[in-house]
């Protein structure tokens, strides 16, 4: 089974992402919450940034998270390798702990000024729809991968757990950024455990207190547990403004500008907050 994951985890993840992206693009047209027409070239820029990030990560890091997990497993490294528990329970623990780790990674990218400069490329998008889930600076992807390597080494999860969580991470990045209207009664129940588009949209508000909330990727439990949740945006989901106040000009939304953005100062923030 480990051999199957090593050979097929990457292609399977790519297939899941491509299929889900197509489905959500169609769903956004049929059942939108905001229904904004995409700015000219915006989706292609987001896809282009994702392509650059993927290429650079492939060149810089020779191992995927699944391959790294295999190396750690064969060496018996990590906490779970030292604990005897049923495979199903070990799998579930690994998924939950990996998601907790990603919650804190996301939160640190907001708190540490140098990391925020990189992460704000994701937040400077002026619209909230599914391709925003692909808009991350290459430096953030590289740092995220190195962080995951450290978590995997400490935890010692199985290949299956890492592969499945990598797919969940990618799938929920698309799902939670999709401009898809979920009935309020369903959303109210789902968000008790899972991150929904309405839950995560608050995180992309121009208001800084709302931006610094709702960090969860897959499970909403962490925002509830660590008191970082905001249930609804103050301006309403249809009326709220998306993006960052200091990066709204058209020339700041080009692919080259997005790649350079971590080096640029935010004119609306004090130096110690950038």
pLDDT at 139 over 60: yes
| Strand, coil or helix: 113 | helix
pLDDT at 269 over 70: no
Percent over 90 (pLDDT), the chain: 83
Considering Cα of 46, then 48, then 50, then 56, what sign does the dihedral take?
negative
Alpha carbons 196 and 176: distance in angstroms, whole number? 5
Percent over 70 (pLDDT), the chain: 97
| Structural domain range at position 246 | 2-29+64-273
- Backbone torsions φ then ψ of 102, nearest 5 degrees: -70, -35
Given this model, what pLDDT does residue 245 score?
Answer: 92
The reply to whether 52 falls in a domain is: no
pLDDT average, residue stretch 113-130: 97
Considering only CA atoms, which of 82, 114, 80, 110 is closest in space to residue 97?
A: 80
pLDDT average, residue stretch 73-93: 92
pLDDT at 272 over 60: no
136, 124 in Cβ contact below 8 A?
no
Considering only CA atoms, which of 120, 139, 14, 130 is closest in space to residue 66?
A: 14
pLDDT average, residue stretch 95-113: 97
pLDDT average, residue stretch 157-186: 96
Please write the tens of the pLDDT for every residue from 205-242.
999 999 999 999 999 999 999 999 999 999 999 999 99
The reply to whether 157 falls in a domain is: yes
Given this model, what pLDDT does residue 93 score?
Answer: 97
Given this model, what pLDDT does residue 248 score?
Answer: 94
Given this model, what pLDDT does residue 271 score?
Answer: 56
Considering just the CA atoms, what is the radius of gyration of the chain in Å? 19
Overall number of domains in the chain? 1
The reply to whether 81 falls in a domain is: yes
What lies within 8 Å, CB to CB, of 208 at 6+ separation is none
Given this model, what pLDDT does residue 143 score?
Answer: 96
pLDDT average, residue stretch 19-28: 97
pLDDT average, residue stretch 17-26: 97
Q: Cβ of 143: how many Cβ atoms within 10 Å?
A: 16
Alpha carbons 55 and 201: distance in angstroms, whole number? 28
- Backbone torsions φ then ψ of 219, nearest 5 degrees: -100, 130
pTM: 0.94
Which residue bears the tokens 């997990």? 69
Share the mean pLDDT of the chain. 93
Given this model, what pLDDT does residue 274 score?
Answer: 63
pLDDT at 268 over 70: no
pLDDT at 96 over 90: yes
DSSP-derived letter for residue 241 is: P
The reply to whether 134 falls in a domain is: yes
């Amino acid at each position: 089974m480990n051999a199957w994951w090593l050979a097929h985890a990457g292609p399977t993840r790519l297939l899941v992402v491509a299929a889900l992206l197509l489905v959500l693009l169609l769903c956004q047209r049929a059942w939108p919450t905001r229904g904004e027409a995409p700015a000219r070239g915006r989706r292609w820029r987001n896809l282009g940034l994702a392509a650059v990030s993927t290429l650079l990560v492939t060149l810089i890091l020779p191992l995927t998270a699944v391959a790294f997990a295999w190396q750690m497993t064969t060496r018996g490294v990590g906490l779970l390798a030292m604990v005897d528990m049923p495979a199903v329970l070990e799998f579930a623990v690994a998924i939950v702990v990996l998601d907790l780790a990603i919650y804190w990674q996301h939160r640190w990218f907001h708190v540490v000024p140098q990391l925020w400069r990189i992460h704000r490329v994701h937040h400077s998008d002026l619209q909230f729809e599914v391709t925003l889930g692909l808009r991350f600076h290459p430096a953030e992807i590289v740092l995220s991968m190195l962080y995951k390597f450290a978590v995997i080494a400490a935890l010692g999860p199985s290949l299956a757990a890492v592969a499945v969580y990598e797919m969940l991470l990618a799938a929920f990045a698309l799902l939670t950024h999709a401009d898809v209207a979920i009935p309020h009664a369903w959303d109210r129940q789902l968000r008790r455990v899972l991150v929904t588009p309405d839950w995560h949209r608050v995180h992309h508000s121009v208001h800084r207190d709302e931006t610094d909330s709702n960090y969860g990727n897959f499970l909403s439990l962490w925002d509830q547990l660590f008191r970082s949740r905001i249930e609804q945006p103050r301006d309403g989901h249809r009326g709220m403004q998306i993006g960052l106040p200091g990066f709204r000009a058209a020339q700041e939304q080009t692919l080259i500008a997005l790649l350079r953005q971590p080096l640029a100062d935010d004119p609306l923030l004090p130096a110690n907050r950038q």
